[in-house]
Structure 1
Amino acid sequence: MTHPTEAPAVPAPIDHWIGGAPFAAVSGRTAPVRNPATGEQIATVGLATEAEVDRAVQAAEAAFPAWRALSLTRRADLMFTIRQLVRERRDEIAELITAQHGKVLSDARGEVTRGLEVIEFCCGIPHLLKGAMSEQASTGIDVYSLRQPLGVVAGITPFNFPAMVPMWMWAVALACGNTFVLKPSEKDPSVSLYTAELLRDAGVPDGVFNVVNGDKVAVDALLAHHDVAAVSFVGSTPVARYVYERATAAGKRCQAFGGAKNHMVVLPDADVEMAADAAVSAAYGSAGERCMAISMLVAVGDVADPLVAAIERRIPAVTVGDGADPASEMGPLITADHRDRVASYVANAGGEGGRVVVDGRDGADGDANGFFLAPSLIDDLEPGMAAYDDEIFGPVLGVTRVGTYEEAVALVNENPFGNGTAIFTRDGGVARQFSFAVQAGMVGINVPIPVPVAFYSFGGWKSSLFGDRHLYGTEGIDFYTHSKVVTARWPDPATSTVDLGFPQTR
């Protein structure tokens, strides 16, 4: 007698969200969604066609007039409701992040919290959108300013923060009265669909928030679409440059955030143990898959040897494993290809003159099929070496040694990236000088990951940003609104005359 074999489980499909409801992908093109801790395919995401992108944009366009006309009080009320739902469902969102990105649950909860801070900032939108007024700017003339939404705006977001970075975009955009089309990473898209359901539950009208999953086809369609007024992008520098050039050539407003090579300068007067704690935390948290991770340590003078030794002592205590395991402190990388690429920098560092102090290829724990790589530490790196020059985006901390503070600042300023930087010192005067002189958009003083709080703005300099406005905060409000100035006069018709001269204040 033969027994029928059990059919293999079919990975669950992940579709789009258009016009307030799920929308099944029709292109026939798909991508696998995997659990990075096991390598197992857990879902299949449909990749959008140009027609599907157009459908999402048209849904947003149709919803815009009513959403724009909604009172600021009502929009603020909705933001408060969204805030409450995100707080209540924080653990569910974090579990989705861990399942598809791989970061540990505590880190995933922290991601949601930092996104929630921007939603809370947007609850004050009636104040944030206030204009100014000058009565009697000229005789009988008042002048006042307005902030008005752009229309349909799009966000193209990365895999490493599938909840937080979209929140940094859509929360501000919606609060300002725009409608939104989100194109998340196809590697971990489910958080975006969960967000769409959450916003629906909060009372956000159909079509105000839409999700199209996809690859370059969807990106290009958004960049070219004539009804998309602005695009926000976060990703690698080459793609950021491409997005910015395509979007602006199509007449769109664009902010495109690229890569980073964040340096942490440690001066001889710094507390070595505190600096080592900070370096390990900032380099290896989220497996180094953060654009604000510290990837280069600049050790000044005789602090280098004790600092490297202190970091080396700490690395074996970092528990690498499945992010769903509460004991894990660092999870896997997002894909096998990315893990192998990161590992190649460790493998090749010695041949370029670097010294591999800790080789993470030897210490990866967890499921053998998962995409694990333990923390690595490479000393004696210098500009010109691949491990120094490239954004590795993994758990690899490089160390370069310099003799003076001036040499350290020069290294930071000569780097083509300018996302974030930090200095560890007990000298307030030197710290103040560093913040004045260093060429980076975000600076930490004894703070290794200086991501600004929600009422400031996030963004770098140089090749870390294409565009002139940063994310969230007041610059986010600027990005997602037009400024309009109204000059008003209510004269007595009996005093009206023809005057061909250039208008003057009188």
Structure 2
Amino acid sequence: MSQTAAGTPSGIETTGTPDETVPTIEHWIDGASVAGRGERTGPVYDPARGVVQKRVHFADVADVATAVEVAARAFETWRDVSIAKRQQIMFAFRELLNARSGELAAILTSEHGKVLGDAQGEIARGLEVVELACAMPGYTKGEYSENVSTGIDVYTLRQPLGVVGVISPFNFPAMVPLWFFPIAIAAGNTVVLKPSEKDPSAAVWLARLMQEAGLPDGVLNVVHGDRVAVDALLEHPTVRAISFVGSTPIAKHIYDTASANGKRVQALGGAKNHMLVLPDADLDLAADAAVNAGFGSAGERCMAVSVVLAVDTVADELVAKVRERMSRLTTGDGTRGTDMGPLITREHRDRVAGYVDVAAADGATVVVDGRDPQVDGEPGGFWLGPTLVDRVPVSSSVYRDEIFGPVLSIVRVEGYEAGLDIINASRWGNGTAIFTNDGGAARRFQREATVGMIGVNVPIPVPVAYHSFGGWKESLFGSAKSYGPHGFDFYTQEKAVTSRWLDPSHGGIDLGFPRHD
């Protein structure tokens, strides 16, 4: 994820005097919009026009404490709501979200810039996790062992933690919150969600929809802001767990700080995802996949393919096919049917564009330069067209850094072993893919690649909701992945009960250590 995915200071101006000419996005606490006591606000841009369309209130420490206190009070009653009732609310939320996904997609496009089709796809993947949360009874039941010792039974209970914090990034303002809060709430917890300050409206929209579905006030709360709000969540003693998706440096900060404060932590970090193309691969399929995975959502995906490892014997042909497909892509306003929208902010656009200069200086070949694109949109938008850089040396920062934009690098390798070595040497281990028609090579790859999510002729191997999402190495801090079985394990704590119901034959005193006879 990007360096500012958690809402840390990023050069975006804040002020204590809101612009009254644009609407202000408020916090959502105890089932209502709340301005809070924090005086700072930040701009929310329309990336396709390059103008401030809204402002968002930033929470101070006291605002976060208020939200946590509300969530703690709500937990005392929500934890005792029956499984059947919680399940009914999740089913109702699922139906509302499915019926009104167009509203949410429009919000995503207006604040993030991704095209409407991509926004709908994001919602669909989040909806999968909501559907998983509807199956909560099967994931939160315990186990029972009868007569482990004469007249004694042992069974386990899965119980909620309490108040949990969710900190989500700008690039998936709907999907990532949906990875976490439905499972947390279905399992009986209450939630304080801190979305990215760059595109915060989706979080409030989801909270309102949960209320409409029947969720009691205070179970899901939303606070906006930057690092002040983040650190307040990490350090608050009542918050039992933290779920986070963002860049590697921030993920490490989240993990270290929350762990030091005695919390469970899901901290998913950044990525540099490779796609290895072997000589026997279907090069048309590989070229399509490289373009789709490299430039979807303007490359602002933690699972984007940013590096294609092309075996020398097919590299020239593959680059030509990728370049031809790129020539057909359109860039512009996401509401106009274009293929790719703008980047999230001007600062981020300029940072990503700077890597094209770095590539040339490091000896790479800029095959397609997207710095001055033809766009179907306003000239002030944060535009950067699809960019292709060939013969990138692995010593270049273009290869080493998580660029998080529409820059696709080609690294040429001698063969399978050389490509695998590069993948395994990476400090990240989020996702990777191999394109081949050789089953033996594919089987070796899935065993030998030190990466958490593997694609075989699939460029973006994001698991379905009933499996869990998460990488290895610096792409995941701790061991807790998101959603799937890991999600339910994370948001519940197990209690073991050893039980004996006395009968008329009991009696006697025995001071010896208990044994299972």
Equivalent residue for 1:395, pick from 406, 430, 444: 406
Distance 1:44 1:499 in 2: 70
Residue type at the aligned position of 1:71:
S
Q: Could you list the runs of 5+ residues in structure 2 that have no partner in the other structure?
A: 1-18
State the 1:139 CA deviation.
1.2
Q: Which residue of 2 aligns with 1:4?
A: none
Superposed, which structure 2 residues align to 1:280-295 within 5 Å? 280-295=291-306
Distance 1:309 1:114 in 2: 32
Q: Which residue of 1 aligns with 2:494?
A: 483
CA deviation profile, 1:188-222 (whole Å, cap 9, x unmatched): 00011111110111110000000000100000100
* 8 Å CA contact 2:187, 2:492 repeated in 1: yes
Q: Which residue of 2 aligns with 1:378?
A: 389
* 8 Å CA contact 1:267, 1:301 repeated in 2: no
Q: Does 1:227 align with 2:238?
A: yes
Distance 1:35 1:471 in 2: 30
Q: Which residue of 1 aligns with 2:179?
A: 168
State the 1:180 CA deviation.
0.3
Residue type at the aligned position of 1:336:
R
State the 1:493 CA deviation.
6.6
Equivalent residue for 1:331, pick from 329, 341, 355: 341
Equivalent residue for 1:350, pick from 357, 360, 366: 360
Distance 1:141 1:127 in 2: 25
SS in 1 for 2:229: helix
Tell me the TM-score normalized by structure 1: 0.97
State the 1:429 CA deviation.
1.4
Distance 2:509 2:373 in 1: 84
* 8 Å CA contact 1:104, 1:331 repeated in 2: yes
CA deviation profile, 1:339-375 (whole Å, cap 9, x unmatched): 0000000111111121111111132523210001000
SS in 1 for 2:164: strand
SS in 2 for 1:153: strand
State the 1:437 CA deviation.
0.8
Q: CA RMSD in A?
A: 1.1
Distance 1:265 1:133 in 2: 47
Residue type at the aligned position of 1:243:
I
Residue type at the aligned position of 1:140:
G
Count of residues in correspondence between the two structures: 498
Equivalent residue for 2:52, pick from 41, 44, 57: 41
Superposed, which structure 2 residues align to 1:435-454 within 5 Å? 435-454=446-465
Q: Which residue of 2 aligns with 1:3?
A: none
* 8 Å CA contact 1:156, 1:232 repeated in 2: yes
Residue type at the aligned position of 1:310:
K
Q: Could you list the runs of 5+ residues in structure 1 that have no partner in the other structure?
A: 1-7
Equivalent residue for 2:164, pick from 153, 168, 176: 153
Tell me the TM-score normalized by structure 2: 0.95
Equivalent residue for 1:101, pick from 94, 112, 120: 112
Equivalent residue for 2:371, pick from 336, 361, 375: 361
Q: Does 1:89 align with 2:100?
A: yes
* 8 Å CA contact 1:364, 1:372 repeated in 2: no
CA deviation profile, 1:117-158 (whole Å, cap 9, x unmatched): 000011111111111101111111111111110000010000
* 8 Å CA contact 1:364, 1:373 repeated in 2: no
* 8 Å CA contact 2:427, 2:473 repeated in 1: yes
Q: Does 1:411 align with 2:422?
A: yes
Q: Which residue of 1 aligns with 2:468?
A: 457
CA deviation profile, 1:279-321 (whole Å, cap 9, x unmatched): 0000000000000000000012311110011001111111100
* 8 Å CA contact 2:349, 2:384 repeated in 1: yes
State the identity %. 56
Distance 1:436 1:500 in 2: 53
Superposed, which structure 2 residues align to 1:70-219 within 5 Å? 70-219=81-230
Of 354-363 and 147-156, the range deviating more from structure 2: 354-363
